[in-house]
Structures are given as C-alpha cells and as structure tokens.
Amino acid sequence: MVAERKRYKAVIANRSYTIIGNKSSQHMNLVTKLVNEQLSEIKMISPQINDEQAAILLAVNAVSDQVDKQAEVLRLQKEVQELREKTVRIVELENRVKRIEAIESEARKYLAEQGQTDVKIKNHVHAQQILNEARKEQIKQKTSLDRKD
C-alpha cells in the first residue's frame, strides 16, 4: 500500500516552505523545530556565515549523523543475527540434554526393573550401553522364542 502524500507548510529560518511527504504533521513539526534550533545554534557559533552556509553545515551534520546511525543499525542487525544463531544453538543443546535425560531415565527404569538399583549410571554413554545390552537381551529372547515356534 502506498502511503498518502501530504503537503506540509514549514517555516525554516524565517522562510516558508511546502514539504510534500508521507510523514505526520507531528513528525514534521518536530523536524522543523529541530532544524530551526540547529540553524540557530550554527549561526550562534559562527555568526559570520549566511543562511545558505548554515544550511549546508546543517545538511553535512545531518548526513554525518545518518551515516553513523546506519553503521549502528548494521552493527545491531549483525548482533541480532548472531543472537538468533546462538538461540538456535541453545535450543539444539536443550533438546540434546532432554534426549540424554530421557536415555538416562530409561536406563534407570530398566535397572530398577532388573532389581539393580545399586548400579550408578556414570554418564549418558553408560546409560546408552545399558539400554543397548537390554535390547540385545530382548532380541535374543525373541529369537529363541521364534525358533521354538
């Protein structure tokens, strides 16, 4: 959707201008006020310069600020991207921890069913080994039952 273009009458350095754009009147009032304040400040610092020179200095200052702000925006966008990547990594790690906890829980449950509550699970690799051995045992039992049939 194209923004509606508006006419705004501004008085800058005692001269009237008609500005056409899509900003609100409140925005343009603020911009006009700031431009007049900055022009006055420039003329106070350098009273010998004329309105045109003051306007050029103001434009140079404004563009310089814009370049600085754009650099800051780019830096922040990069930081946001890095934070997104870190967030993805954190979620991946949280999912791994949940899988490890599930493996360890399943191994503890199996050991409890076997009456081996005194066996301590050292780490997730040990837990997986316990489950692997349990599954091998289940396969052996199933195979021996199938052979009997």
Model confidence at 149, pLDDT cuts 50, 70, 90, reads: low
pLDDT at 142: 85
Planar angle of CA 88, 91, 96, nearest 5 degrees: 125
Question: Number of helices and strands (H, E) in the chain?
Answer: 3, 2
Bridge partners, residue 12, by sequence: 15
Planar angle of CA 116, 123, 118, nearest 5 degrees: 20
Residue 2 has pLDDT above 70, yes or no: no
* CA–CA dist 24, 33 (Å, integer): 14
Q: Are 38 and 58 in contact (CB under 8 A)?
A: yes
- Give 28-85 pLDDT, tens digit per residue: 999 999 999 999 999 999 999 999 999 999 999 999 999 999 999 999 999 999 999 9
- Give 82-99 pLDDT, tens digit per residue: 999 999 999 999 999 999
- Give 96-140 pLDDT, tens digit per residue: 999 999 999 999 999 999 999 899 999 999 999 999 999 999 898
